Structure 1
Amino acid sequence: MSAAAFPLDPSLWHATAAPAPDCPPLDKDVEVDVAIVGGGYAGLSTALHLAERGVGCIVLEAREPGWGGSGRNGGQVIPGLKYDPDEMVEKFGPEAGKALTAFAASTADTVFELIAKHQMNVPHVRNGWIQGAHIPSMIETAKKRSAQWAALGANTEFFDKAKTDEHLGTDVYLAGWIDRRGGAVQPLSYARELCRAAQRAGAVVHGQTPVAGLSREGSKWKVKTAQGRTVTAGKVVLCTNGYTKDYYPKLARTVIAPNSYQVATEPLSDNVRKSILPYGQVSSDTRQLLLYFRLDHEGRLLMGGRGPFREPNDKSDWAHLERVIARMFPAAKEAPIHYRWCGRVAVTRDFLPHLHEPEPGLIVNIGCMGRGVGLESTMGKALAAYAATGDRKTLPFPVTPVRTIPFHGLNRAYVAAVVTYYRMRDAGLA
């Protein structure tokens, strides 16, 4: 099944989401202050915050808002980035590192504040996120992460094995830590409600409007759609992440976009439900190819992780996740799997978000690293501020040149091989 044809229909989120907003295809040429390409969290948040500033903007989405990774992820809202606070300071220096850490710390707050402010119809919980340590060396990592964030005022705690077992409902981890800022949302509902909020604020959103090309004419940008319609804009913001094409030369080769696979059971019985994540947290672990799991708002158990780099062929592509459920949560091993789906994650070479402006007025945001719910919602605020003011100080990350990943095609093959290797190494669990 090709990426273009892969529908939302197999997804739990599609089956339980809030109704989709009306986003008709663009049917005429228009001129606007800012054109946004991509109707995921970043693009919709950018549109919402631009509209609230009174800036005219339009979103062009190839499918429907939330069709890509924003409607296919695990719905976990995790503050922070892949780097710990001390690593950010070491990498970027004291001033910039602390500023970037503060930005990363705010990402979960953004999501829950937007849900409350706009009274979004989004099932959500905020009872924290737990990261389980899967090998002895990760026990110290968990202690370090918890301590570093606690020193900055976050409500975190290190868990020994007994407490980790109690909170997760499984005995496969050696220890862990909890970040009580984290939580979960119904991700497609959140994307659709973010779209609705942007529309109410004055943004225009068009679905089923693929972008065919970009060109600069004088001080303006021309965004040509596949249907032949054109948007003329003073600025363009690209927010396509794991579904990026070469709207700008070589842009798609700046990231690797592996598939993240998920399964969901039928709603569990009350007794089984109470034995898994009994305190309502969500979790992902410290594996190279991490596992992530949670209960949804109707008591289904979700399990996610890496699978084949290609698009799925049949149900066997999710079989490793079904084995994980049986090993980690024996009480749920007989629960039928009702949903199987996947979505692409944009991973940069340094595992950090990248911001580019290769030509004046063309702003590129790319790289979500699996934390897109909070990260991209918050990035949208910053992108809107920059598009409105032109002040780069409003951006949380430095603007860098577009640099491709060397031997990009080989890297895709490498990622596929690494996925296979770690799945074999973790065969005791999966």
Structure 2
Amino acid sequence: MRTKGIDYMTFTGWIDPPSDVLPALAGEITCEVAVVDGGLGGMSTALRLAERGVDVVLLEAEFCGHGSSSRNAGQLAGGPGGAIQMLDILHPRRLPSVVRFAENSAHFVESLMERLGIECDYEPTGNVGAAVSRGQMGRVRRVARILARCGATVEVGTSAELGIPRTFVGGLLEPVGGLMNPGKFTLGVRRALLASSARVFERTRVEDVQPSGNGVLVSVPGGRVRAERVVLSTNAFGGQLSITPKRLASPIWVTEAETAPIDPARLAALGWTSRSGVVTQHAIMQNYRLTPRNTIVTGVRRLQRGRHPLPPGRTADESVVGGLLDGFRSHFPSLGDVGFERAWGGWVAITPSWLPVAGQVTDTVHYSIGCNGHGLGQAPTSGS
């Protein structure tokens, strides 16, 4: 759909859908482990199992990487999701391990790119939590002290010192992580999975998961899978299965938009020498990042909660995209004449604790759901 010069995508603006989508499951099969959902978490789970010689089946409703795995801003974060000051109050003993997990997740994804030979335009620039006022700089310093106490690598500086646009006062650099094309990364993981011994069925929507005897029975429209164990990697879609524990996570629609190509000289004039991703310090932040195609991708600013069953084929709302454009022009006034070329969105899972969740429903049904907008790094790590 094209409205007011903007293409509203039903998939993502980073890549085209794969041309080799696999057929649905038909009939009954058996396996040791069945993985439900083919996002980065599910694919990483299945790939790790296959590499260790486990007979694994993965079931995906559309095609692997169809969801938020390929729809995010491509900012590989080295820090935890959520409000750090609140996490420090609610989980003071757990926060150091959460910080280590976040940093290790970014490093894990970097190693995964290298091991699998994935080319996804990765730039290890780190990301900056940017302040737009002196008051927000105070918050930045408080957060930096908490993270440093937890063992994180952080750096506080002015916009000039951090190499971010001068319209920001300054910020907190998390040097671990960086920027990538998440669509290319997701397709790379998918290629590795399809080349493994895992049996992958796309276009296969799971309707029910039920413990049965010593195993689990997974029902799909064209058949069923009898597995010894099941892993639910359903993220925001977990609530659509009755076996998923209630209130694990809420599905939240996050919108991203990309500008038209910008003259390189105008981009250079911004002073964005570090090319680090930027996330504002507002309660509901707005992210900004440069791309290799001389555009800026921005997102979030407004969150929209969903209810199960989540509607298929959703596109971004015009009002939300309009709000993103307002934010973009306020932070980049020299680019006030630059408009958006495309917009898209995806469902992420937000947990009540703002911590990633994983566990067991029964002895044979496991789950890994909810990375609070940091799934690009944390979902592959949790899955593996």
TM-score normalized by the length of structure 1: 0.78
Q: Secondary structure at the match of 1:245?
A: helix
Structure 1: where are the runs of 5+ without partners?
A: 2-6, 382-430
Partner of 1:46: 45
Query: Is this contact kept in 2: 1:155–1:179, CA < 8 A?
Result: yes
Partner of 2:368: 365
Query: Is this contact kept in 2: 1:42–1:380, CA < 8 A?
Result: yes
1:49-74 Cα shifts (integer Å, max 9, x gaps): 11121111111111111111112111
Residues 1:374 and 2:364 are matched in the alignment = no
Structure 1 residue 107 displacement after superposition: 1.0
Moved more, 98-107 or 144-153: 144-153
Partner of 1:209: 204
Q: How does 1:296-375 map to 2 (within 5 A)?
A: 296-307=291-302, 309=304, 315-375=318-378
Partner of 1:117: 115
Structure 1 residue 252 displacement after superposition: 5.9
1:51-99 Cα shifts (integer Å, max 9, x gaps): 12111111111111111111211111002213688987875675x6544
Query: Is this contact kept in 2: 1:34–1:56, CA < 8 A?
Result: yes
Q: Secondary structure at the match of 1:244?
A: helix
Partner of 2:278: 283
1:361-419 Cα shifts (integer Å, max 9, x gaps): 111112111111001111112xxxxxxxxxxxxxxxxxxxxxxxxxxxxxxxxxxxxxx
Residues 1:178 and 2:181 are matched in the alignment = no
Query: Is this contact kept in 1: 2:348–2:372, CA < 8 A?
Result: yes
Question: 1 or 2, which has the higher strand percentage?
Answer: 2
Structure 1 residue 251 displacement after superposition: 3.8
Q: How does 1:158-307 map to 2 (within 5 A)?
A: 158-160=156-158, 162-163=160-161, 167-171=163-167, 173-227=168-222, 229-249=223-243, 251=245, 253-276=247-270, 277-307=272-302
Q: Secondary structure at the match of 1:34?
A: strand
Moved more, 28-37 or 248-257: 248-257
Q: Secondary structure at the match of 1:317?
A: helix
The residue identity in structure 1 corresponding to 2:381 is T
Structure 1 residue 344 displacement after superposition: 1.4
Structure 1 residue 352 displacement after superposition: 1.0
Structure 1 residue 259 displacement after superposition: 1.2
Identity of aligned residues (%): 24
Distance change (3 Å), C-alpha of 1:355 and 1:267: same
Structure 2: where are the runs of 5+ without partners?
A: 2-7, 307-313
Structure 1 residue 182 displacement after superposition: 1.9
Q: Which has the higher contact order (CA 8 A, sep 6+)?
A: 2
- In structure 2, distance between residues paired with 1:84 and 1:313: 25
1:169-217 Cα shifts (integer Å, max 9, x gaps): 141x333111111202211221121121123232222211000111111
- In structure 2, distance between residues paired with 1:28 and 1:275: 60
- In structure 2, distance between residues paired with 1:152 and 1:355: 22
How many matched pairs? Answer: 369
Residues 1:24 and 2:23 are matched in the alignment = yes
Distance change (3 Å), C-alpha of 1:253 and 1:87: closer
- In structure 2, distance between residues paired with 1:84 and 1:190: 27
- In structure 2, distance between residues paired with 1:275 and 1:156: 26
- In structure 2, distance between residues paired with 1:57 and 1:138: 48
TM-score normalized by the length of structure 2: 0.87
- In structure 2, distance between residues paired with 1:108 and 1:273: 27
Moved more, 276-285 or 229-238: 276-285
